[in-house]
Amino acid sequence: MKQKKQNLVKIVHDYNSQATALGKTFDSYCLRCEQEEKKLANLQTKRMKEEALVRHLNNNSEYIKIKKTVEEKVRATLSEGKPLIYLALFCIIESIKENPDKYSPLFYENVPTMTSHYIPNYFQEQYQTSYFDTKAMFAEEAEKLYNMIAKRFVR
DSSP conformation class of 99? -
For 109-148, the pLDDT digits (tens) are 544 444 445 545 544 455 555 556 666 766 766 676 667 7
The pTM of the full predicted model, rounded to 2 decimals, is 0.36
Does residue 146 contact residue 85 with C-beta atoms inside 8 Å?
yes
Q: Identify the three-state secondary structure at position 48.
A: helix
Sign of CA dihedral 117, 119, 124, 127: negative
Interval 101-106 mean pLDDT:
70
Q: Where are the domains of the chain?
A: 1-59, 67-155
Q: What's the CA gap between 150 and 155, in Å, rounded?
A: 9
Per-residue pLDDT tens over the stretch 39-94: 999 999 999 999 998 888 878 888 888 888 888 887 777 677 666 677 677 777 77
